[in-house]
């Protein structure tokens, strides 16, 4: 048995809502959601403010619009209840409307949300963040991950006097900004001159990165990658990247937007024992409130400050970067993480889920076609056809059948408000879903899928 399945001390203080209604085998009505779809798309390009939440990422006739959440559950406009494994795009690690976090934000809102000079809370949160994460000597807060990763690149370019950046092509998203989107098929509107400044390398391929830097001697300002995603770093890989960057005078940036506070409160860099020059944190930092952080070595970070004689760097100057209620939420999150076994519990729940799902996959002889990927605390999955190729039609079928059973699972991301019982009920439902997947492989997915297949986000045309 995995170590993650050991009994852990302590439980989440907020009692989760009973899951029985979510797993009842009953029809779920989406009448209001389907009627709202045209209104959403008339008012919002793509029908959502985040492409991962778009209509094309969910079954055509089962794309709920959410009205509230509590703990592990959400409810939609039609009154349907779901277990929400999307975790707010991985930002909700403690659970929806987690009471200590909500109380902290509410108390601060009554004192004012924004002022014309820094609030004392900004200093207190910065100091607590640096102590909690160990991510560097200085930190600056912003509202989203794109801003802090782009700010990290700006610091690296200013510090090195170089223009090129090396971006890991195996990690799917770093920023909405042109330096990254220009490396994807969604490069419309991005000048070629900007696209030419980004170079790609493969994860776990140290010789490939070394060759890239050798091909552009003295020109690469930064190497940016996630510490870990679906596959772990090969032995010595991260240390090798760090040594290579130091040798070549390149700034090493770890994107911990997902892994920070999910792998460990100190991030995946702590798990693997390699600290970069700059780190970016977000998502779970404030349990869904909008807070992101750029942290790192003083000699880089202070370029965005006032106490140096080098050329001034305009770094993360935003009206809402230090909204007090969001910072209060982040402080509450950090306090929970330091007092309770949050990440241990996330891993244990994920390991329990992975064990059950993998047994179900084997029971339906689906090992080549359905695969769980990643660490237990952050599981994703692959859906493949009879030829072993990724299938958006079969992914749509999988989501259709899980949604029918009260599961919203574009991924299988656990949160601290989930229970062992809820995980076991999820596994029972997935047994049924995988039986249908097996039939679709044998008889044709078109005989089971209602509506069109899903689409990949990074594509040239709709």
List C-alpha distances in Å: 417 to 15, 84, 97, 259, 408. 7, 11, 10, 19, 16
Q: How far apart are the C-alpha atoms of 70 and 55, rounded to whole Å?
A: 24
> 235 — phi, psi (to 5°)?
-55, 125
Among 164, 150, 205, 124, residue whose Cα is nearest residue 315: 150
Cα 131 to Cα 133: distance, rounded to the nearest angstrom: 6
Spatial contact of 156 and 251, defined as CB atoms under 8 Å apart? yes
CB atoms within 10 A of CB 416: 26
What per-residue confidence (pLDDT) applies to 25?
52
Burial state string for 137-150 with b = 16 or more CB within 10 A and e = fewer than 16? ebbbbbbbbbbbbb
Task: Tell which residue, 369, 457, 442, has the closest CA to residue 410.
Answer: 457
CB 121 within 8 A of CB 360: no
Domain residue ranges in the chain: 3-97+342-447, 114-322
Structure tokens at 331: 């402080």
* d(C-alpha 108, C-alpha 124), whole Å: 14
CB burial string 374-391: b at 16+ within 10 A, e below: bbbbbbebebbeeeeeeb
Q: What is the 3-state secondary structure (H, E, C) of 199-220?
A: EEECCCCHHHHHHHHHHCCCCE
Structure tokens at 447: 């005989």
H-helix or E-strand spanning residue 166? strand 164-168
Spatial CB neighbours of 209, under 8 Å, sequence gap ≥ 6: 166, 201, 223, 241, 244
**Rounded to whole angstroms, how far apart are CA atoms 157 and 176?**
19
Handedness of CA 246, 247, 251, 252 (dihedral sign): negative
pLDDT at 336: 98
pLDDT tens track of the chain, all 462 residues?
A: 333 233 223 333 333 333 333 354 567 899 999 999 999 999 999 999 999 999 999 999 999 999 999 999 999 999 999 999 999 999 999 999 999 999 999 999 999 999 999 999 999 999 999 999 999 999 999 999 999 999 999 999 999 999 999 999 999 999 999 999 999 999 999 999 999 999 999 999 999 999 999 999 999 999 999 999 999 999 999 999 999 999 999 999 999 999 999 999 999 999 999 999 999 999 999 999 999 999 999 999 999 999 999 999 999 999 999 999 999 999 999 999 999 999 999 999 999 999 999 999 999 999 999 999 999 999 999 999 999 999 999 999 999 999 999 999 999 999 999 999 999 999 999 999 999 999 999 999 999 999 999 999 999 999
Nearest-angstrom CA–CA distance, 194 and 19: 49
CATH class, 114-322 region: alpha beta
**3-class secondary structure per residue, 356-421:** HHHHHHHHCCCCCCEEEECCHHHEEEEEECCCCCECHHHHHHHHHHHHHCCEECCCECCCCCCCHH
- DSSP character for 249? T
Amino acid 226: pLDDT: 98
- The pLDDT value recorded for residue 12 is 38
Which residues on neighbouring strands pair with residue 412, listed in sequence order? 379
pLDDT at 10: 33
**How far is 222 from 225, CA to CA, in rounded Å?**
10
* Predicted local distance difference test score (pLDDT) of residue 22: 38
- Tell me the fold of 3-97+342-447: 3.90.1150
| Torsion sign (Cα): 413, 417, 423, 425 | negative
Phi, psi of 355 (to 5 degrees): -60, -45
């Amino acid at each position: 048995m995995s170590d993650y399945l050991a009994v852990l001390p302590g439980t989440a203080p907020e009692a989760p809502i009973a899951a029985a209604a979510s797993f009842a085998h009953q029809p779920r009505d989406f009448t209001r959601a389907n009627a709202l779809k045209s209104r959403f798309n008339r008012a919002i390009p793509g029908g959502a403010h985040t492409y991962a939440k778009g209509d094309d990422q969910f079954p055509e006739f089962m794309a709920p619009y959410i009205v509230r959440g509590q703990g592990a559950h959400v409810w939609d406009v039609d009154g349907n209840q779901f277990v929400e494994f999307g975790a707010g795009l991985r930002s909700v690690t403690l659970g929806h409307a987690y009471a200590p976090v909500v109380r902290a934000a509410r108390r601060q809102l009554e004192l004012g949300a924004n002022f014309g000079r820094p609030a004392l809370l900004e200093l207190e949160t910065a100091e607590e963040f640096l102590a909690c994460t160990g991510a560097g000597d200085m930190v600056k807060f912003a509202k989203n991950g794109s801003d802090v990763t782009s700010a990290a690149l700006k610091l690296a370019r200013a510090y090195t006097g170089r223009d090129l950046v090396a971006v890991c092509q195996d990690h799917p998203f770093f920023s909405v900004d042109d330096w990254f989107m220009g490396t994807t098929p969604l490069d419309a509107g991005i000048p070629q001159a900007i696209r030419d400044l980004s170079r790609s390398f493969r994860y776990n391929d140290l010789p490939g990165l070394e060759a890239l830097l050798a091909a552009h001697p003295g020109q690469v300002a930064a190497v940016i990658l996630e510490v870990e995603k679906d596959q772990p770093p090969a032995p010595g890989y991260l240390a090798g990247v760090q040594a290579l960057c130091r040798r070549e005078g390149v700034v090493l940036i770890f994107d911990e937007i997902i892994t920070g506070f999910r792998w460990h409160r100190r991030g995946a860099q702590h798990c693997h024992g390699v600290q970069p020059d700059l780190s970016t944190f977000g998502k779970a930092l404030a349990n869904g409130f909008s807070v992101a952080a750029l942290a790192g070595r003083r000699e880089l970070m202070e370029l965005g400050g006032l106490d140096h004689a080098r050329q001034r760097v305009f770094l993360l100057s935003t009206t809402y970067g230090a909204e007090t209620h969001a910072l209060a939420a982040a402080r509450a999150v950090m306090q929970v993480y330091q007092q309770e076994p949050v990440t241990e519990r996330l891993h244990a729940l994920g390991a329990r889920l992975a064990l059950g799902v993998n047994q179900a996959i084997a029971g339906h002889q689906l090992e080549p076609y359905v695969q769980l990927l990643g660490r237990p605390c952050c599981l994703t999955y692959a859906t493949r056809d009879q030829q072993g190729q990724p299938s958006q039609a079969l992914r749509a079928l999988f989501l259709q059948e899980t949604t029918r059973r009260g599961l919203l699972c574009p991924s299988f991301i656990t949160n601290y408000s989930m229970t062992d019982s809820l995980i076991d009920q999820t596994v029972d439902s997935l047994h049924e879903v995988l039986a249908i997947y097996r039939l679709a492989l044998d008889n044709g997915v078109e005989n089971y899928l209602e509506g069109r297949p899903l689409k990949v986000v990074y594509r040239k045309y709709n």
